[in-house]
Every structure is written in structure tokens, then in C-alpha cells.
Amino acid sequence: MQKRKLGNSNLEVSALGLGCMGMTFSYAPFPEKKDSIAVIRAAVERGVTFFDTAEVYGPFNNEELVGEALEPFRGQVAIATKFGFDINPDGSRGARPTNSLPEHIKQAVEGSLKRLKTDVIDLYYQHRVDPDVPIEDVAGAVKALIAEGKVKHFGMSEAAATTIRRAHAVQPVTALQSEYSLWYRTPEDEVIPTLEELGIGFVPYSPLGKGFLTGKMDENTTFDKTDIRSSIPRFTPEARIANQALVDLLGKIAAQKKATPAQIALAWLLAQKPWIVPIPGTTKLHRLEENIGAAALELSADDLKQIESAAAEIKVEGARYPEAIEKMTGR
């Protein structure tokens, strides 16, 4: 597996990471813990060195899973986790939607360190921008944690370009994690140019469009009511029929390359910038191996031009999130 550096930082990770959220959160029904541990460890054996979790996934049990799975490999891998939702120590939700008060961050990091079975967090993201706390205060709180040796790198998630600039002026931001794929390209407008200017890495989540870009679902696919996709406008049967054109495009390129649509979608992301590290999630070993295969797939300038011109003709239907969740992004 090739390595990539996240921006100007010295954080070097595998070109593809593993998003672990779906093992305990959002995509029910969930696999047994032992099976998830086996997939995480299989990823390490295949060269993956970058693993993503968050305290809110569960809450807490995703960090516990990742901590247990990676304990034997701790010196070989980088773990990213996140703070910023209002979660009480007992796992109940607090009164506010988000909470990035410095004292709350200080409390949150201790819980994450314990659950991850580590003495330092490699990359600590603010999960969502908190409109009630100046971003300078958040960056300052993480800067203090870095000085204490509890955190190595500061990250942000779904933040707007101006907010990234303000935070970066206080504590250099190593990486931004936001949704980015062939079916959600908004970061190209302002965020990616800002990251390039400031030397910040980009970690796209949902790089396979929450599974849609794999070509493994159609308008007849059903989702468990606890599966986040059951409430997402982009996953209504009507939207899936309209958005099938994007999957057909990926399938056409995949056939030319003797690859899969998922591999083309990931290879397209990797080709955009050398400091982009997608984190596809999966609970299945064969999907893990398929995704890893994308890192070795070369898309030529002509391939990229073909994808670009065809994608420009396709209008993706449906919002990527329900309105209440979308309001928490891009701030």
C-alpha cells in the first residue's frame, strides 16, 4: 500500500484508510464484535495504517472496538477520532446539539484515550463546528492538548473555508474530513483550494456515496429503519433511479480497466490531489480487499477527462442529508 502525507504535516498514512463507523453506528444491523475486529486487523495486515472513529459512534463503543482491535499494532498505525457533540460521560446526550467548549474537549479526550487504549491520539478532529464557541477557542484547546502530549494533530470536519483559516491561524490544521465523492463535489468550490493554499490534507468520508457508487444497490434495495440511509433524500427509490446514471458511468470505466465501480470511484478521488486520503468503510473482508485494490489502480489523464465530461452531464438528485443534519455542516 502506498503512503501519503496529509498536507504539510509529518502525518504519513496509507493512501486509503478504514472508516470504522459502520461497524457499530448508522448502518444496522451490525456485525459481531469479533468479526469487526477481524476486519480491522486484516486491514493492518494488508497495509492500511489509518483508522477513523469518533466518540459519538455508539456512543463510545466504536472507539472501544477500534482500541481493542488495534492494541497489538499501536506503534504501526494512526488512529483518528473526534470530539464536539454534547455527550455526557454516561453516554446520554446533553442539552446542546454540539459542545466544543474547551472544558468539554478536555473531558472528552480523556475518555477517548482510555477507550482507544492509547496514551496519544494521532489526529483529533472537531466533529462539527460549534456555532456557540469561537473556533479560536477550540483550536487553542487542542493546541494545549498537543502541548501536553495527549494529541499529535488537529483536524476539522465539515468546516467552511473561512472557519478553517481562523482555526489554522491558532493551531495548524493537519486534515479536514468532509464528504467528497463523484456524487458530492461541493468541496471543490472553496474548501479544496483553501486546503491546498494552507497545506492541509483532505480525508473524504463516504467516498463511495454511502455504498451507492459500488453499484450493489438499486431502487428495490431496502434499508433497516435504523440505517441512516432510510432517512436520506438521496436514497429514496426515485432518487436512486435518477442517480443510477452515475453508477452506469463508473461501471463503463470499470469494464475498460478490468476493475469494479467502487475501485474507479476511489481511484478518481486519489487522482484529484496527492494529499487526499479517502476512508471507505466496510464490515466485510472481500469489500476491504476490493477497496484496497483501488490504491494500485492508475487512471490516465484521458480516463479522468472521460469521467469528468460524462459526470458533468449527470445531475445528482436528492439532498445528501436530512435538513437538520445538513444545517450542522459547512459552517
Q: What is the pLDDT of residues 217-245, one digit of tens each?
A: 999 999 999 899 999 999 999 999 999 99
Q: What is the pLDDT of residues 248-283, one digit of tens each?
A: 999 999 999 999 999 999 999 999 999 999 999 999
Query: Whole-model pTM above 0.95?
Result: yes
Q: Where on the phi/psi map is residue 67: left (φ > 0), alpha (ψ -120 to 50), or beta?
A: alpha
H-helix or E-strand containing 123? Answer: strand 121-126
Q: Is the distance from CB of 156 to CB of 163 less than 8 angstroms?
A: yes
Residue 87 DSSP code = E
| The three grid cell numbers given for residue 35, joined into one nine-digit string | 468479526
Reply yes or no on whether the pLDDT at 14 is more than 90: yes
Q: What is the pLDDT of residues 86-122, one digit of tens each?
A: 999 899 999 999 999 999 999 999 999 999 999 999 9
Give percent of the chain with pLDDT exceeding 90.
Answer: 97
Q: One of 27, 57, 184, 205 is an active-site residue; which one?
A: 57
Average pLDDT over residues 297-307: 96
d(CA 323, CA 316): 17
Q: Is the bond into 280 cis (omega within 30 degrees of 0)?
A: no
Beta bridge partners of 151: 121
pLDDT at position 235 is 96
Q: Measuring CA to CA, which residue among 226, 182, 213, 168 is closest to residue 9?
A: 168
pLDDT at position 28 is 84
Give catalytic status of residue 57 as yes or no: yes
Could you give the 3-state DSSP secondary structure of residue 173?
strand
* Encoded amino acid at 90, one letter: D
Q: Is the bond into 59 cis (omega within 30 degrees of 0)?
A: yes
* Encoded amino acid at 157, one letter: S
CATH class entry, domain 3-326: alpha beta
pLDDT at position 232 is 96
pLDDT at position 60 is 98
Reply yes or no on whether the pLDDT at 161 is more than 90: yes
Q: What is the pLDDT of residues 124-155, one digit of tens each?
A: 999 999 999 999 999 999 999 999 999 999 99
pLDDT at position 106 is 97
Would you list the domain boundaries of the chain? 3-326
pLDDT at position 316 is 95
Mean pLDDT of the chain: 97
Q: Measuring CA to CA, which residue among 206, 177, 312 is closest to residue 266?
A: 206
pLDDT at position 212 is 96
Average pLDDT over residues 169-195: 98
pLDDT at position 262 is 98
